[in-house]
């Protein structure tokens, strides 16, 4: 096992010093820095000024004044009401053209039969007001209408009560009779979904990247014949797992660098404010999702990495490698797309079945943990299956690795591989 450490150390040292690794790490770190700062950058460019609306006065002074007053009290950031006493409509239209205001409101007399109705409100402007601003105005006006209809029959206190919004709360009944706050649960689900997505994408990307690196590394060692020296000095098992663990640590180092970069950027004073606004709280992340997610991630990585190493050892030339790793790449793509397409329906039969197939367990089981339903025994069984296949495929791959690295020329037949695998100790 001392050799395992030596192989890991060598893999780390030689890979970390390569230009390719350093350059990609820096580029990705820069992209992340930009990504983290995007909300701040956007807020820099869209200094959103409130919409300015003029109010033509004269027809209903009482209502007009109340409207002005309550709008001023609301301090709405998007909407600003400017009063225009003693002006004509023409003047307002000119102001619109001059860009001083975006539009104006006019109260118009409305009579039905003989009774005078609450005035009709007309908005004139270059663009329509838009749903949210119209809502603000109508709800304010509705209140004024109540006051106008009641005509002093209500006390100030009664009026205040009318003004109060209705408090509405929905409670979801859980299977065990307990009730949870569904709103909070929804928020947590959203966060879990995000964590699941991030982990699945990360799994897919790192899997493909390191997998390719491992396979081509093995092929190169084989074609440069250094493999002959390696096999005569260290057991293939130590050699293969040393390389795989080394690559894993390399990826880990990269991820730590990225985390530090992202966190450092988030800590910058100009980024703290937008983050608070998004209502984001670390404690909202379910630790079970993170913990189990990482366990599945590591096991999945080892399962795929051993396969990539085995395939790399069968191929003699780097040019043939792309074709040879296709089946594994396809497997990992299926493992990626099943949960991605099932993210809104995580309890289908497809997802359930897939979560027991070791190649798909790392992603599909994660989906079920994060956003679906699962029983604890299902989790145990699928992780046990995954663990067993990691050991089994690790052993088989080491055998293939030992056998494959000495087969040059034509692609060996299955019979030859089987015969050789029986012979070679690992």
Partner 1 sequence: MKTLELDQVVKQYGDKTAVNGVSFDVEEGEIYGLLGANGAGKTTTMRMVLSLIYPDGGSIKYNGKPYYKGLEKIFGYLPEERGLYPKVKVSEQLLYLAQLRGMARKDADKSLKYWLERFNVPENYNKKIEELSKGNQQKIGFIASILHNPKIVIMDEAFSGLDPVNVELMKETVKELRDNGTSILFSTHRMEHVEELCRNISILQKGNAVIQGNLRELKSKYPREKVVLRTVGAVEGLEQIAGVSEATRTEEGYFIRITDESAGQHILQAAMSQTEVKHFEIKEPTLNEIFIKVVGGESNA
Judged by the rule CB under 8 A, the positions of this chain that interact with partner 1 are 3, 6-7, 10, 13-14, 18, 221, 224-234, 406, 423-424
Cβ 230 to partner 1, closest distance in Å? 7
The answer to whether residues 196 and 289 touch, using CB atoms and an 8 Å cutoff, is yes
Q: In terms of residues, how long is the chain?
A: 426
Cβ 248 to partner 1, closest distance in Å? 19
Cβ 233 to partner 1, closest distance in Å? 4
51/244 with CB nearer partner 1: 244
Cβ 219 to partner 1, closest distance in Å? 13
Cβ 13 to partner 1, closest distance in Å? 7
Cβ 17 to partner 1, closest distance in Å? 9
Cβ 408 to partner 1, closest distance in Å? 11
15/352 with CB nearer partner 1: 15
236/370 with CB nearer partner 1: 236
14/347 with CB nearer partner 1: 14
75/422 with CB nearer partner 1: 422
CA–CA separation, 50 and 31 (whole Å): 33
234/340 with CB nearer partner 1: 234
Cβ 229 to partner 1, closest distance in Å? 5
Cα distance from N-terminal residue to C-terminal residue, the chain:
13
Cβ 2 to partner 1, closest distance in Å? 9
CA distances from 356 to 302, 367, 389 (A): 17, 13, 11
118/424 with CB nearer partner 1: 424
């Amino acid at each position: 096992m001392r050799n395992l450490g030596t192989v890991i150390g060598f893999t780390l040292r030689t890979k970390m010093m390569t230009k390719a690794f350093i350059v990609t790490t820096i580029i990705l770190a820069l992209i992340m820095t930009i990504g983290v700062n995007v909300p701040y950058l956007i807020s820099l460019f869209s200094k959103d000024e409130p919409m300015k609306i003029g109010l033509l006065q004269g027809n209903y002074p009482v209502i007009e004044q109340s409207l002005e007053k309550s709008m001023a009290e609301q301090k709405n950031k998007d909407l600003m009401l400017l009063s225009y006493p003693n002006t004509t409509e023409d003047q307002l239209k000119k102001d619109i053209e001059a860009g001083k205001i975006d539009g104006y409101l006019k109260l118009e007399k409305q009579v039905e039969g003989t009774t005078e109705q609450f005035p009709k409100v007309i908005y004139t402007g270059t663009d329509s007001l838009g749903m949210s601003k119209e809502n603000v105005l109508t709800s304010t006006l509705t209140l004024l209408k109540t006051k106008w209809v009641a005509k002093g029959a209500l006390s100030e206190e009664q009026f205040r009560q009318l003004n109060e919004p209705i408090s509405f709360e929905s409670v979801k009944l859980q299977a065990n009779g307990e009730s949870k706050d569904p709103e909070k649960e929804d928020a947590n689900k959203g966060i879990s979904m995000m964590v699941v997505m991030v982990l699945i994408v990360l799994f897919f990307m790192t899997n493909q990247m390191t997998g390719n690196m491992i396979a081509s590394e093995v092929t190169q060692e084989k074609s440069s014949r250094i493999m002959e020296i390696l096999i005569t000095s260290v057991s293939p098992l130590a050699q293969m797992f040393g390389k795989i663990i080394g690559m894993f640590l390399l990826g880990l180092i990269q991820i730590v660098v990225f985390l530090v970069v992202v966190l450092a950027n988030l800590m910058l004073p100009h980024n703290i404010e937008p983050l608070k606004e998004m209502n984001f709280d670390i404690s909202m992340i379910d630790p079970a999702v993170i913990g189990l997610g990482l366990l599945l991630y590591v096991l999945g990585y080892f399962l795929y990495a051993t396969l990539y190493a085995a395939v790399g050892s069968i191929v003699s030339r780097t040019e043939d490698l792309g074709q040879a790793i296709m089946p594994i790449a396809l497997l990992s793509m299926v493992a990626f797309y099943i949960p991605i397409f099932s993210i809104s329906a995580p309890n289908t039969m497809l997802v359930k079945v897939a979560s027991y197939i070791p190649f798909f367990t790392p992603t599909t089981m994660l989906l079920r943990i994060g956003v679906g339903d699962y029983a604890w025994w299902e989790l145990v069984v699928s992780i046990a299956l995954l663990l067993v296949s990691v050991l089994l495929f690790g052993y088989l791959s080491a055998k293939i690795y030992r056998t494959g690295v000495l087969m040059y020329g034509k692609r060996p037949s299955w019979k030859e591989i089987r015969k050789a695998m029986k012979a070679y100790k690992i």
